[in-house]
Structure 1
Amino acid sequence: MRIAKVSDQEMLNGLMSVFRAKGYDGASLNELAEATGLKKASLYHRFPGGKKEMTDAVLDYMEGWVHGQIYAVLTDTGKHPAQRLDEALNNLSAVYNGGKEVCLYRSLSMDTGMALFGEKIEQGINQWLAAFVALGKAQKFDDAKAEALAKQAFIEVQGSLVLSKAMDTTEPFKNTLKTIKERYINT
């Protein structure tokens, strides 16, 4: 019998889906193994440090995603700020499945997750904020306004994800992305 191969990306996406849904404390080894398509023994072979090492890997993966899909996009001076923003908002929509998924940082910022991964969560959020600050500065906003808008955008995205989940509709998330675009482009 041939052993099924699971790519690193498939595995990390599977792990991330469980951590998003359950947080660190709620994620069981059975759920993590099932989401990756691996047996528990294979999962432990790849992550001898167990669930903590899996979470670290998922956070590293997400940090790379934020860097490539948000930070690099919003700080790309070779593109017009409106084009950068469109691309970054499309990337946000994709990672949150149009508003159907919750944020990994939010899910892991509860209970044990924050104690274990608070520094990585803070780094990821700060990279996200820095990207939006850079966009604000490209739009000629002063430092204070650029920082305030970046924080507001983050708060609104997170809040809209919670509201979308609670109301079982993606409209709050979609409307938030439109509002962010209008705020940056029409201000």
Structure 2
Amino acid sequence: MRPQKIDDQKLLEALTHTFRLRGYEGASLKDLSEATGLKKASLYHRFPKGKQEMAETVLKHMEAWVAQHVFQALQQPDTPAEIRLTEALSHIRTLYNNGHDNCIFKAFSMQEASDLFEPLINSGLKDWLDGFTAFGQSAGFPPAKARDMALATLIAIQGSLILSKGLNNTLIFENTLKDIYIKYLKE
């Protein structure tokens, strides 16, 4: 068996970057091939269902990454809330390249992709809400307030990514993360 030209991690990073940049519809097989350094036939060998399978793999990988880094940081029971939140926000900075990268949900929530990936997107968004709701409750907020804060957090992060990209100003994203920190720990 021949060695793979690109390891799985690098492959996922290249696919993720391309989908974030171009969206699902805009990312052609040529784009994905160029980004990964693999010929189209090699991509189909790794992903027999084609571009849809590549996108599903990216979404599942991102879901696992967020669970491992963001949610795990939020849910360390023996760690003070301030440290948990600081660590989770640091991972969110990494996830979005300090506000330079689009959210992967955006890439897969337009046109045809919306129908194809709706269950995965809904599940991912629910996980974000549940993760921040659980954190809010562990930080001392009543359940309804914790859920409201989780929803506001998700809206703030997503909105700041759109504005940071649209206005070419990542300070919007950074200030949003600072505001989230203040709201959870100073209210």
Distance 1:90 1:164 in 2: 17
Q: Which amino acid aligns with 1:172?
A: I
Report deviation, 1:66: 1.4
Unaligned runs of 5+ in 2: none
Distance 1:69 1:130 in 2: 15
Distance 1:84 1:58 in 2: 26
- Paired residue for 1:5? 5
Distance 1:46 1:78 in 2: 42
Distance 1:156 1:113 in 2: 23
Report deviation, 1:26: 1.0
Unaligned runs of 5+ in 1: none
- Paired residue for 1:98? 98
Report deviation, 1:34: 1.1
Q: Which amino acid aligns with 2:175?
A: N
Report deviation, 1:122: 0.8
2:122 corresponds to 1:133: no
Per-residue CA deviations over 1:19-66 (Å, capped at 9, x if unaligned) read: 111211111001111111211111111001000110111011011011
Per the alignment, in what secondary structure is the counterpart of residue 5 of structure 1?
Answer: coil
Per the alignment, in what secondary structure is the counterpart of residue 79 of structure 1?
Answer: coil
Report deviation, 1:3: 7.1
Per-residue CA deviations over 1:140-159 (Å, capped at 9, x if unaligned) read: 11111100100101101111
What are the within-5 Å matches in structure 2 for residues 1-150 of structure 1? 5-150=5-150
Per-residue CA deviations over 1:113-162 (Å, capped at 9, x if unaligned) read: 11001000111111111111111001111111100100101101111111
Distance 2:131 2:80 in 1: 14
Per the alignment, in what secondary structure is the counterpart of residue 106 of structure 2?
Answer: helix
What is the identity percentage for the equivalent residue pairs of Structure 1 and Structure 2?
A: 44
Conservation of the 8 A alpha-carbon contact between 1:71 and 1:130: no
Q: Which amino acid aligns with 1:15?
A: L
Kindly tell me the number of residue pairs found equivalent between the two proteins.
186
Per the alignment, in what secondary structure is the counterpart of residue 88 of structure 2?
Answer: helix
TM-score, with normalisation over the residues of structure 1? 0.96
What is the RMSD of the two structures over their aligned residues, measured on CA atoms? 1.2
